[in-house]
Structures are given as C-alpha cells and as structure tokens.
Amino acid sequence: MARVMQRPHGMRLPTFVGGITAAFAAACWGFPVDQSTECAAYVRCIEAIDRAASAASGTPQVTDLDRYQDGGACWGNPELGKGCTTSCRRALDRLRAREPALPVECAP
C-alpha cells in the first residue's frame, strides 16, 4: 500500500495531492450519468399534468422538475441516479394506479 501511494519520481507535490484528492472523490461519488428513461417519462408526465391543470383552471401550474431534468442534480453520479430512477418509477406506478384519467404522456 505504501508503495502504491508513493509520489512518482519527478511529480510535483501539488499535482500528486490533487490527483489523490480527485481519485478519492471519484471513488466516493463517481462521475455524472445520463438521465434515465424512467425519469424522462416522469418529467414528461408531470409536465403534461401541469398543462392539463393549467388549461382546466385558467391559472398556470408549473412544477419545478429541475432535479430530474436532463443535467439535473439526480445525474451527478451513479448512486444518485439509481435513487432518482427508483423514485421516478415508483411515482409513475402510483400515479397510474391512482389516477384514472392521466394525460397520454403518462401512459406506460
């Protein structure tokens, strides 16, 4: 282990420390991932519900879906992406089971 962590000959100390820190951060939190199909479907569904509610009431209804949008906080690393994807799948399942008249965008 000590041999692995030895600073390579000629490498400057700040570069070495920065590299170790970046490797540690990547090991702990990983790299960004793509938006999942489940959450893309969830976003489409909630946006469609908002449009329908706005049309019915005459008052704009907008849900902040930033976390789930492509490039949102959900996709910062694989662990976050997995949790968000599960949350989208479960929310869509509930909506479909509970609401008899969802917009077509919410269909499986």
Partner 1 sequence: MRRALVLAALLLLPERLAVAHTPGKLLASTPYEVRNPADSYALFGVFHTGAERFVVKLAHATRFAAPVEIFVPHVDELRRHRPAYAVVGPGLPAPSAAELAALPAPLPAGWGAEVELNQVTPRPVLFESIMRRFYWTSEPLAVVFPAGPSEIWVWSPAKTTGKFGLGFGVEEGGGYLAALDDWSLYAY
Kindly list the residues in this chain that would bind partner 1 in the complex (CB under 8 A).
21, 24-25, 28-29, 42, 46, 61-68, 72-74, 76-77, 79-80, 83-84, 86-88, 90-91, 94, 98
Rounded to a whole number of angstroms, the minimum distance from the CB of residue 3 to partner 1 is 20
Q: Which is nearer to partner 1, 87 or 103 (CB)?
A: 87
What is the spatial distance between Cα 107 and Cα 76, in angstroms, rounded to a whole number?
28
Query: What's the gap between Cα 3 and its chain centre?
Result: 38
Rounded to a whole number of angstroms, the minimum distance from the CB of residue 73 to partner 1 is 4
Query: Which residue's structure tokens are 């509610």?
Result: 53
Q: Which is nearer to partner 1, 84 or 106 (CB)?
A: 84
H/E/C letters for each residue in 31-45?
A: CCCCCCHHHHHHHHH
Query: What's the gap between Cα 65 and its chain centre?
Result: 10
Q: Which is nearer to partner 1, 2 or 10 (CB)?
A: 2
